[in-house]
Amino acid sequence: MKKFIMKYVLYLVRWQLSTPILAVCVVWLKDWPTTWSTAMANLIGGLGFFWIDKLIFTGKLREEWEIRENVLCCDCGKQSRGYRLVFKKGYDKRDDPKPEFRCEACSITKKQQIDAAMQPA
């Protein structure tokens, strides 16, 4: 529910960003009928906001990490705060029965390996 509310608030903020485009178009096209200048504003806004909305609703920007205190890094064995990437687009370890935690340095290396493996060839 919290994620839905956050997404909804983000969408409402995004929606307000269309206000300046609408205002500029209505003033700029003041000789046009209001319906036509509003339609032009929506067309211009839609060309840009399509991509922003796509990011909001597909979650392509979303990454989830889990952090635990005092764990042994599964790569170097150092005891420290542990990190693990749980979810990002194309990578889902939410139901991992044996989650692996890494120290900060090793988690950065692991993240780079995951990102490199997900790059299109």
User: Looking at beta carbons only, is 66 or 75 nearer to Zn ion?
Assistant: 75
User: Looking at beta carbons only, is 21 or 103 nearer to Zn ion?
Assistant: 103
* Window contacting Zn ion (CB under 5 A); options: 39-47, 57-65, 90-98, 101-109: 101-109
Which of 45, 88, 103, 111 is in the footprint of Zn ion by CB under 5 A?
Answer: 103
Q: Is residue 73 near Zn ion by the rule CB under 5 A?
A: yes
Q: Is residue 71 near Zn ion by the rule CB under 5 A?
A: no
Which residues within the stretch 14-43 sit at the binding site for Zn ion (CB under 5 A)? none
Per-residue three-class SS string for the chain: CHHHHHHHHHHHHHHHCHHHHHHHHHHHCCCCCHHHHHHHHHHHHHHHHHHHHHHHHHCCCCEEEEEEEEEECCCCCCEEEEEEEEEECCEECCCCCCCCCECHHHHHHHHHHHHHHHCCC
By CB under 5 A, name the binding residues for Zn ion.
73, 75-76, 78, 103, 106
